[in-house]
């Protein structure tokens, strides 16, 4: 056996190095993915699923009553400002006393924020907001003289600081 054949021979040491390298890569990838998953979206939707399920019928009835009003809403985001307006069936502005807008990312909670909307002279509600481009879930709760706050939830995409 010459020197070139001995160098190409698969020995136990080579197999050990291959196996250790393979499993090191697998473990490193798994640890990286676990860390990234843990540090991004928490998976948290409600504090207590049992309590939330007990109120499902109430929330559904509130939603049907709200839909029966026939109100329409306008949400605008541009220039670092969010504006919200409610109008009734005939197009008159519904004067809301106050409202909050919650901005959530669909997949992670690190950029979530809530802003208090302030009444404007034209009947709309507005507040400054700093949002990065991308997908957002916006939930507005407006105190508009109803038994329960008027709730409006929508998913939108921001590009260059404005709704697309």
Looking at the chain, which runs of residues are DSSP E strands? 72-78, 81-87, 98-104, 113-119, 125-128, 134-143, 150-159, 162-163
Paired tokens of 137 = 């879930």
Whether residue 1 has pLDDT greater than 60: no
pLDDT in tens, 82-114: 999 999 999 999 988 889 999 998 877 788 899
> Domain 49-163 maps to which CATH number in 3.40.430.10, 2.60.40.10, 3.40.50.1360, 1.20.1440.230?
2.60.40.10
Task: For the chain, give every domain's residue range.
Answer: 3-39, 49-163
Q: What is the pTM of this model?
A: 0.71
Paired tokens of 15 = 């197999």
Phi, psi for residue 132 in degrees, rounded to 5: -85, 160
pLDDT in tens, 102-159: 999 887 778 889 999 999 988 899 999 999 999 999 999 999 888 889 999 999 999 9
pLDDT in tens, 10-60: 899 999 999 999 999 999 999 999 988 877 766 667 788 898 899 999 989
Distance of CA 104 to the CA centre of its chain: 3
Cα distances (Å, whole numbers) of residue 100 to 96, 110, 115, 118, 136? 11, 19, 6, 9, 15
Comparison of pLDDT for 68 and 97, the residue scoring more: 68
Whether residue 4 has pLDDT greater than 70: no
Buried b / exposed e across 39-61, counting CB within 10 Å, b at 16+? eeeeeeeeeeeeeeeeeeeeeee
């Amino acid at each position: 056996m010459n020197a070139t054949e001995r160098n190409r021979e698969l020995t136990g040491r080579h197999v050990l190095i291959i196996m250790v390298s393979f499993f090191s890569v697998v473990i490193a990838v798994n640890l990286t993915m676990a860390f990234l998953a843990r540090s991004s979206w928490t998976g948290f939707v409600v504090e207590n699923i049992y309590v939330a399920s007990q109120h499902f019928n109430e929330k559904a009835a509130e939603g049907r009553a709200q839909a029966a009003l026939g109100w329409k809403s306008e949400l605008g985001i541009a220039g670092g400002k969010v504006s919200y307006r409610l109008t009734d069936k005939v197009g008159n502005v519904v004067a809301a006393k106050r409202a909050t807008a919650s901005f959530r990312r669909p997949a992670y909670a690190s950029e979530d924020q809530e802003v208090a909307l302030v009444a404007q002279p034209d009947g709309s509600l507005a507040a400054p907001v700093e949002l990065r481009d991308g997908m957002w879930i916006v939930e507005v709760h407006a105190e508009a003289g109803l038994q329960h706050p008027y709730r409006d939830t929508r998913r939108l995409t921001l590009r260059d600081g404005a709704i697309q």
